[in-house]
Structure 1
Amino acid sequence: MAELLYRLGRACARRARTVIAVWLALLAAAGAAYVLYAGELEDSFSIPGTPTDEVNRLLSEKFSDMGGGAGIVVYQTEDGSAFTHDQREAIAERAERAAEVSGVADAVDPFAAESERADQRQELADGREELDAAMAELESGQEELDQAREQAEAAGLLAQAQAQFDAEQAEIDEGRETLEAEYGRLEQGEAMMEMAEGIRTVSEDGDTALVNVSFTEDQMEVSQETRAAVMEVFSGNPVPGTEVDFNSDLARTMPTLVSPAEVIGVIVAGVVLVVMLGTLLGAALPIVTALVGVGVATLTAMSLSGVVEMASVTPILGLMLGLAIGIDYALFIVNRHRRQLKEGVEVAESIGLAAGTAGNAVVFAGTTVLIALLGLNLIGIGFLGLMGSIGALALAVAVLVAVTLVPALLALLGHRVLARRERARLAERTPAAAEEEAAARQPRPMPTGRALAQAGAAVAALVVIALPALDLRLGMPDGSSEPTHSTQYQAHTAVEENFGAGQNGTLLVAARLTGGPTEEAAERNAQREQAEIAEEIYSFDDVAAVAPIGVSDDHTTAIFQVVPVDGPASASTEDLVHSLRDLEPIEGTGPLGVAGVASGNIDISETLSGALPTYLAVVVGLSLVILLLVFRSVFVPVVATLGFILSFFAALGGVVAVYQWGWLGGLIGVENTGPVLNFLPTLLVGILFGLAMDYMLFIGTGMREAYVHGAPARTAVVQGFRAGRAVVTAAAVIMISVFGGFVFSETVMISSIGFALAFGVLIDAFVVRMVLVPALMHLAGDAAWWLPRRLDRLLPDIDVEGAALERRHQRPKPPRAAPTAEADRPAQDRVPSERH
């Protein structure tokens, strides 16, 4: 591989303008594909086969008008007074217009709904008065009959009047039985009304109203155009004296690919490159090549959105990875090339060697990240697998750019990739001075006591940082996690304050009924069982209200709206969903089914949690195998993998502390806390694993190279650390800068992913790879490089660092002369024609 990359690098340097033209053509083609084929990005996630999905399928079969999505429009009066008659009429008129929007099944006038509820309550009250009056009349008749019987008995005429008395008594008993049955139905209705009392559309003080909008399509399928059209009906022509907001199910905001925060992150990365490389041209090269790669990958990915369901966060993840990794991989090659130039290697030869050594490590490191990302497809969760695939696409393009476009641009730059002072120093340096510098750089091993203290402090710090991960709760963002100025947050807060927190995440409960031998018997059983089931559900402490929605035409399925006490992201609502699913109110019909947005999010979180240990085990196993091949050691893979595990849990602990507990959230704009994004831990495993392997390769291969070339084990640790620390530090700072730019996104999904990756890189690069690993390698000494002989014979020598390539292409160094105009001329005009 190293020889192939050496030849590829020289070929790209020789034909630099052609290579650049090809990449610009690919960028243009990706842009054209995006314009022609890009579709609508999704703003929600789903996993087929979950309990919620099964209930939704059942409802679609049993109820023709059920199974569609929903949203809530929240109206509030500006002065806090009750709605006026004109305002009520205006809101009702807008609800009627919204119901006519294409894709909308219905939009309910909240005041008409409350009026209907009031009429039902009045009917129940009137019915009780009528029954009470009828019962009083019946009791009066009973008293008269009893008196007549007594009088007849006293007069000795009871025998003659007994038949008449018995007939009247039978009539009274029949009337009483009828009234008692009516009382039973009345009490059942009153109980149902009481259980549904918490489900309101107008607040008790009359200053807040909810317009419930239902869609014809499933919640995941409702288009952005339909939602926008509905919101335009209400916000385009405001009702005087009112404010209108839309909940998160209706007002789905699509995150932007590029924001000022990301631009600032790239600028910070540019500053780091300038400081490290000392030249604007050299610093600009990794950023330019990364932007080209990101453009090709992101536009290509988004052009696929017309044929596959793609979440809005998916191309942003590709952008995030492609930008950070693209800059880093280019930097690795540029840094190697610059070092060789300063050693006196000719430009074209240096480009080839950089592509064959650093480029070989880049390809190998990129392959490990690629495998980890593609491995997300193995856990069987579609949207997460697609995220991994798009991230893998961005990574593959970044690697291709690094080994083709970077050499081409390096050829155009020639010696100008070095700063002026570096070129001057190169011209003045003599072989004797070079030998003196090399002797001065001879390292000494660190003291063993320091290594012990360093390792202990690193492990203790990582464990402490990881402790919050023990309290990890997974979920999906809802209105409460949106920025406080957003309409989603305002709607969420208004609903919680005026109708209860549970109204923001109502559940849909489906129950099987016993049916009956005849239509009439099935209908009677359905009415009775519907009331029994509602009472069972209402008996849970975490249920605020229950309302029956309907019974299927075959009288075998009933559905209920259930309002939890707490919000959709709360632990109590999660417990309630499980409790309801374990409940079998009617023996032989099976347990209840639960659906709804809150239920769906709980199912997704649990599915992802269940898949995480398996995926983590696969990644850990992969890590051990890869590092065993690279370092030909048993100790190094184990230490490196344990370090990755510590990095992962420490990063997760940081996310929990900031996004779930709210620690220091104000510093990065986290205004509201909640559960951690449910797919973040799984995504973090794949990405952080790849990055951790990158840093381990660029630190550890230097240690191995020094040890193989005869340096004592502990001295080799210091030599390898010194050789790799500058480039790893710069790469990590660049990663943190790019990922950190996404932390300030107003979309909590993007923000939390950016924070997790930035914090994970910070922990892994600066604590694990630069503190813990060198200390443990020092303590292990020669044992760090032990490998059983039989295993040593079986393992292939993959030579990641390209040492064999360097030995094959060693050449006498040219005389140290000052760079001339010829040296600054583009390298492709000076590359000899022979092939290597």
Structure 2
Amino acid sequence: MALALYRLGRFAFRRKWWFVSVWVAILIALGALVGALQPKFATDFELPGTDSDRAMSVLQEEFPDANKQQLTASTSIVLSADDGLAAHQQQIDALVAQAKTLPKVVDPQLILNPVTAAQAQPALASKVLGDNGKVGLIQIRQNIPVEDLTAPDMEQFEKLLADHRGNGLEVEGTGSLMQVFEQGGAAELLGFAVAFVIMIVAFGALVAAFIPLVTGIFGVGITIMLVTLSSEFMNVQQSATAIITMLGIAVSIDYALFIVSRYRSELNLGGSREAAAGRAVGTAGSAVVFAGLTVMIAVAALAVVGIPFITQMGVAAAVAVLVAVLGAITLIPALLGVFGRFAFSPRIPGIRHGDEPDEQPSNGLRFARFVTRFPLPVALVGLAVLVIAAIPVTNLQLGLESTTDREYAASQLLKRGFGEGVNGPLLVTVKSSDGQDVAPAANAVVEHVKTLGNVATPDQIVWVGNGSNPAQPQQGATAALITVTPEQSPSGPATHDLMEQIRDYSRSVDGAQVNVGGQTAIMSDISSKLSSALIPFLILVVGLAFIILVIVFRSILVPLIATIGFLFSVLATFGATVWIFQEGHLGLIEHTKPIISFLPIFLIGVVFGLAMDYQVFLVTRMREEYVHGVPAKEAIVVGYQHGARVVASAAVIMISVFAAFMLAPDTIARMMGFALAAAVFFDAFVIRMIVVPAVITLLGDAAWKLPKWLDKIVPNVDIEGTRIREIPIDDTDDKRDPVPAGA
């Protein structure tokens, strides 16, 4: 492989304008297609094989109007006044009048002052007025698909709330208009800015610092447009783009950083720039290919969860990594060819440039000697740090809420006036098995639900049929829809128990199929599927990645150390995330909440791939020195000296990109950004750069041994570039004199 990549690197360097033109053409073509087709992302959840999915299928088939309401904008205005809403009638009337002017409002005559509505229909007063008249509810429905709502729509609604807030009246909003997905921008720009500064420090030159940024922009842009285009032909959710941005920027820049750094090192050995580019792609490029492969396996394996939006995130991330790898081994050498002798200029004075001779002392060299001199205490201290960080994980609570931080104030008012579950009803469907009258089964379900705990206003529960007569929909109905509002939080254990009690009872209903759906049930089923898929996911990811690492390192112990180290770092990450987001330390978030239930499996997939990235980049250089005759202990020092600076720079870039997502408005993105940043810190700086070299030092030559029977089976991919070393260093087609870096 190394030789093939060497030839590819030289070819891309030589045909630089052709390769650059192809990448630019792909980016422009995809952008044009997105602009022409205007594809839209889906907003509905699909959970094949779950009870909630079957309920939603009945809803779509038998109750299309109700299903449409689930897919179109529905927003609530919650009012509160300590002196009673009746004292603010004029202010509320003005609010209602303005609310009716929102775009495409359905039945504006039903948007009413809750005080007036309660007086006109006392039987329905409890649905619009609560807490002894101190809390009111106004419902607004719009004939706009949820996915078509825009940030200006949300801003218009928030201005409406602000215009009528004050004088003792609280006005808050919750629902579709408060859940509009805001396009990112600040996080990505900050991530790129920090990455650029770090690369200036890493290379000591301005031009070289631009090259990884260019590949990052190309990689992320192409992947996002590919995923966006795919939504034209399949059901794709916008959540898939978040991981592309996070992971795509990070790995694109990282992989470019490794190859450009190796290119500079190869230039210092002499020979032509073309040959140096070939050697860089053949050596560092081999590590990039295998590192990228481990990341792709880790994230693509999220498909085993069986949840479409998780699968989409995993596949999208795998595509982002694939594009990053292709960019690293083709676009990078082409860009190096474009910049030519100016690649490492102008040199920044006062910054170590990385092309100093090996014998010149550096921090990496000093630390490597310290680690190899005291390997046991160094390893124990590193592991102790992770164990301490992991302690809060014992309090881990998982949950999945659809309420955003913008809706927190409204949710608290709803809880006070109407109960926590008013915005999270369970939709129970009852469908006749033989197409006959569903009334007996529906009545039985309603009567049973009334006897259960955690049910709000059980006396008002009725069923709606799909009968052909709109005036009497129960007559001749073959399917029924029952709305059950829980008293407590939709994401709480009591509501989960209520849902399971209804599902348990469904097994005793004769002649009908009973299912429980709705957003609350969907969230619960997602959490259940995630929990059941965690062990199979771990086995698949760790097993496949372990095989790849055995091929890369031709060792059993080194991959084993890498895997065990990952477990320490991921537990420390969960502990830190619990400490910040669940327990609320350091005040980084305003409202504490459980850890989102898909974070563990998602974090394990992404971080395992990234962890193996750093393992490959740092330890392959150690193995490279060892297989070429350097003693085991000295090989660790030399490999660390050459790789530590680049790995540290790459890790800081990753941390910066991920941490920048803590600027996002929603807690899910912030939680994911923090967890990924913390994971990279623990794994790169503690495990890969402290614990792993210390343990390998303790193992000595045994670390690099492979049983003879296995040695015959495992293919030799020559990741160390042995065949490249056989090529004369001054091998060149352009007959130019060797040019040192920066000259």
The normalised TM-score by structure 2 is 0.86
Q: Does 1:266 align with 2:158?
A: no
1:278 and 2:282 are equivalent in the alignment: no
Q: 1:556-575 maps to which residues of 2 (within 5 A)?
A: 559-575=481-497
Q: Which moves more between the two structures, 804-813 or 701-710?
A: 804-813
Post-superposition CA distance 1:515-545 (Å, at most 9, x none): 999x8xx97x6897466324312xx2x3443
Structure 1's unaligned 5+ residue stretches are 121-196, 826-836
Q: 2:388 aligns with which of 464, 468, 471?
A: 464
Taking the aligned partners of 2:620 and 2:319, their CA distance within structure 1 comes to 27
The two structures, once aligned, show a CA RMSD in angstroms of 4.2
1:635 partnered with 2:635: no
> Distance in 1 between the 2:510 and 2:230 partners?
48
Structure 1 residue 387 corresponds to structure 2 residue 318? no
Q: 1:447 to 1:407 in 2, by over 3 A?
A: closer
Partner in structure 1 of residue 448 of structure 2: 533
Q: Which structure 2 residues correspond to residues 82-101 of structure 1 after superposition, within 5 A?
A: 82-83=85-86, 101=105
With over 3 angstroms needed to count, the CA separation of the structure-2 counterparts of 1:421 and 1:270, relative to structure 1, is closer
Output aligned runs, 1:346-495, within 5 Å. 346-418=272-344, 450-479=374-403, 481-482=404-405, 486=406, 488-495=407-414
Contact 1:106 / 1:215 at 8 angstroms: preserved in 2?
A: no
Aligned to 2:655: 736
d(CA) in 2 for partners of 1:66, 1:478: 20
CA contact (8 A) 1:215 1:222 kept: no
The 3-state SS of whatever aligns with 2:718 is: coil
The code of the aligned residue for 1:28 comes to I
Change (3 A) 1:771 1:423: closer
Q: Structure 2: give runs of 5+ residues left out of the alignment.
A: 466-473
Q: Distance in 1 between matches of 2:434 and 2:92?
A: 42
- Give deviations 1:683-716, integer Å, cap 9, x for gaps: 2222212211111111111221222222332332
Contact 1:201–1:211 at 8 Å: present in 2 too? yes
Q: Is the 8 A contact 2:3 2:723 kept in 1?
A: no
Alignment partner for residue 689 of structure 1, among 603, 608, 611? 608
Instruction: Indicate the residue corresponding to 1:248 in structure 2.
Output: 175
Please state how far the C-alpha of 1:49 moved relative to its aligned partner.
3.0
By how many angstroms is 1:443 displaced?
A: 10
Q: 1:339 aligns with which of 249, 265, 270?
A: 265
Could you tell me whether the CA contact under 8 Å between 1:311 and 1:383 is conserved in 2?
Answer: yes
* CA distance in structure 1 between the aligned counterparts of 2:693 and 2:328, rounded to whole angstroms: 29
- Aligned residue type for 1:16: K
Offset at residue 819 of structure 1 (A)? 6.1
Per-residue Cα deviation, 1:362-414 (whole angstroms, up to 9, x for no partner) = 12211222233333334432222222222222222212221222112222333
Match of 2:469 in 1: none
Whole-Å separation in 1 of the counterparts to 2:351 and 2:507: 86
- Determine whether 1:626 maps to 2:548: yes
1:677 shift after superposition = 2.5
Query: Within 1, Cα distance between the matches of 2:17 and 2:253?
Result: 21
Task: Identify which of 695, 707, 711 aligns with 1:792.
Answer: 711
**1:773 aligned to which of 652, 668, 692:** 692
8 Å Cα contact 1:338-1:417 kept in structure 2: no
| Deviation string, structure 1 residues 183-241 (Cα, Å, up to 9, x no partner) | xxxxxxxxxxxxxx9x5211244343223356789xxx644349987996896697697
Distance 1:681 1:348, change over 3 A: same
Residues 446 and 462, structure 2, Cα contact 8 Å, conserved in 1:
no
Give the 3 Å change call, closer, same or farther, for CA 254–528 of structure 1 in structure 2: closer
Distance in 2 separating the partners of 1:815 and 1:12? 18
| 2:9 corresponds to 1:12 | no
The 2-side partners of 1:781 and 1:713 are apart by 6
Shift of the 613–419 alpha-carbon distance from structure 1 to 2, 3 Å rule, reads: same
What letter corresponds to residue 183 of structure 2 in structure 1? T
Residue-by-residue CA offset, 1:101-155 (whole Å, 9 max, x unaligned): 47999868755763576258xxxxxxxxxxxxxxxxxxxxxxxxxxxxxxxxxxx
> Hey, what does 2:128 align to over in structure 1?
201
Matched residues in 2 for 1:808 and 1:818: separation? 15
Of residues 590, 593, 608, the one that matches 2:530 is 608
Q: Is 1:530–1:558's contact at 8 Å kept on the other side of the alignment?
A: no
Q: Quick one: which amino acid aligns to residue 451 of structure 1? A: P
The percent of aligned pairs where both chains have the same amino acid is 36
Q: 1:32 to 1:71 in 2, by over 3 A?
A: same
Name the counterpart of 1:71. 74
Equivalent residue for 1:804?
723
Once the two structures are superposed, the pairs formed by residues 281-292 of structure 1 within 5 Å of their partners are 281-292=207-218
Deviation at 1:563, TM superposition (A): 3.3
| Residues 88 and 325 (structure 1), Cα distance of their counterparts in 2 relative to 1, 3 Å cut | closer
Corresponding residue for residue 36 of structure 2: 36
Q: Which residue number in structure 2 is paired with residue 651 of structure 1?
A: 573
Distance in structure 1 (CA, Å) of the matches to 2:668 and 2:564: 28
CA contact (8 A) 1:73 1:244 kept: no
Distance (whole Å) between structure 2 residues aligned to residue 100 and residue 694 of structure 1: 51
Determine helix, strand or coil for the equivalent of 1:306. coil
Residues 112/358 of structure 1: CA separation in 2 closer, same or farther (3 Å cut): same
1:505 to 405, 410, 424: 424
Instruction: Classify the secondary structure of the residue corresponding to 2:137.
Output: strand
- Give the equivalent residue in structure 2 for 1:721: 640
2 CA distance for matches of 1:435 and 1:607?
A: 53
Alpha-carbon distance between aligned partners in 2 of 1:442 and 1:601, rounded to the nearest angstrom: 52
1:755 maps onto 2:678 in alignment:
no
Aligned partners of 2:275 and 2:729 also within 8 Å: no
**The structure with more radius of gyration:** 1
Distance in 1 (CA, whole Å) between partners of 2:9 and 2:301 is 30
Q: State the Cα distance separating 1:63 from its structure 2 match.
A: 4.6
Partner Cα distance (1:26, 1:513) in 2: 53
Contact 2:622 2:640 in 1 (8 A): yes
CA distance, structure 2, for counterparts of residue 528 and residue 762 of structure 1: 58
Structure 1 residues 589, 86: closer, same or farther in 2, change over 3 A?
Answer: farther
Distance 1:526 1:288, change over 3 A: closer
Q: How many Å apart are 1:812 and its aligned residue?
A: 8.4
Return 55-64 or 343-352, whichever deviates more: 55-64
Question: 1:142-157, aligned counterparts within 5 Å?
Answer: none
Taking structure 1 as the reference length, the TM-score comes to: 0.77
In 2, the alpha carbon distance for the partners of 1:781 and 1:279 equals 38
CA separation of 1:751 and 1:791: change in aligned 2, threshold 3 A:
same
Aligned to 2:463: 550
Query: What is residue 327 of structure 1 aligned with on the other side?
Result: 253
Q: Secondary structure at the match of 1:403?
A: helix
Aligned-residue offset at 1:418: 3.5
Q: 1:277 & 1:527 partners in 2: Cα distance?
A: 71
Deviations 1:465-488 (A, max 9, x none): 234334433333433x51xxx3x2
Check the 8 A contact 2:98/2:160 in 1, yes or no. Answer: no
Contact kept in structure 1, 2:154 and 2:178, CA below 8 Å: no
Residues 256 and 332, structure 2, Cα contact 8 Å, conserved in 1: yes
Distance 2:223 2:441 in 1: 57
Structure 1 residues 601 and 824: CA distance shift in structure 2, 3 A: closer
Q: Secondary structure at the match of 2:461?
A: strand
Q: What residue identity is the alignment partner of 1:34?
A: V
Alpha-carbon distance in 2 for matches of 1:590, 1:269: 60
Does the Cα contact within 8 Å between 1:735 and 1:761 map onto a contact in 2?
Answer: yes
Please say which of residues 606-615 and 48-57 is displaced more in the overlay.
48-57
* Aligned equivalent of 2:502: 580
Q: 2:464 and 2:671 mapped to 1: Cα distance? A: 43
1:594 is paired with a residue whose SS is: strand
Letter in 2 for 1:455: A
